[in-house]
Amino acid sequence: MPRFSANLGFLWQDRPLLERIDAAIAACFRAVELHWPYDTPPELVRARCATHGLTLLSINTPLGQTELGEFGLGALPGREADFLEGFNMANEWATAAGACAIHVMAGVVAPEMQAAARDTLIANLRTAAAMAPEMTLLLEGLNQHDKPGYFYSTLEAKAAIIAAVGAKNVRILFDAYHVGRSEGDVFGNLRRHLPLIGHVQIAAVPNRAEPDEGEVDYARFFDDLDRLGYAGWVGCEYKPRSDTDTGLGWFRKMNVTLS
């Protein structure tokens, strides 16, 4: 059975971050991952995780000017300096908090800017990978239903970027929800791209709720992860149907063990 982490960007959203960490250990998770935790001092997060013996996995790079529709800066031509400033902030926060990975958000790109955006992202990733050689940089495609215009939504696009960057610490974040919504064939895509996968996340397809319903058979998915030898964590990045603790009944329903 894979190891599961609690994504505290979606779980226990009704409480402050440090209390979400407490809730994760109370639910028997052994790891957590975050979205944008920058309002909380990283030393407090490190201390709280250490108290509970929790592993802190990852955070996201800053979104940019959300009021202008930005959702990440990595692939935005003309925003290279802002991206590097944001990445440096993310790297410093992650290092101080004890995280081991950063999801580098590419951003929303107009169709006519795709070629320039690709060159921008490759250059930014090369710089970021050299700035943080001990940190895993994760690339996640967001499906076009949830985030229209996001720079990439397919695994092939991310694999091509990784090949062009040529840095060993740049990896795919395989979110089975986004893969299912964007291109389907979750099981085949998992097998084909496993050598490049640095992290896995799950949620029901298509409603992004607990993974005990929908188009993806997650019992089979967990078996495939074991059979393929995936040794990383599986992030529970779903939106609970009601309160988080009630929704955790999916573990018992699917005979999943957290600890």
* 183 in active site: no
> Is 41 within 8 Å of 47 (Cβ atoms)?
no
Q: Is 193 helix (H, G, I), strand (E, B) or coil?
A: helix
Burial level of 7, CB count in 10 A (0-12/13-18/19+)? buried
User: What's the distance, Cα to Cα, between the start and end of the chain in Å?
Assistant: 10
The catalytic position among 19, 67, 183, 237 is 237
What does each C-alpha distance from 104 to 90, 151, 201 come to in angstroms? Answer: 9, 12, 15
- Strand-pairing partners, residue 201, are 175, 235
The catalytic position among 67, 70, 140, 213 is 140
* 237 in active site: yes
Q: Contacts from 207-213 at CB under 8 Å and sequence distance 24+?
A: 208/177, 208/238, 208/239, 209/238, 209/239, 209/240, 209/241, 209/247, 210/238, 210/240, 210/241, 210/247, 210/250, 211/236, 211/238, 211/250, 211/254, 212/250, 212/253, 212/254
Which residues have C-beta within 8 Å of that of residue 65, sequence separation ≥ 6?
none
Output Rg (C-alpha) for the chain, integer angstroms. 17
Active site amino acids: 140, 237
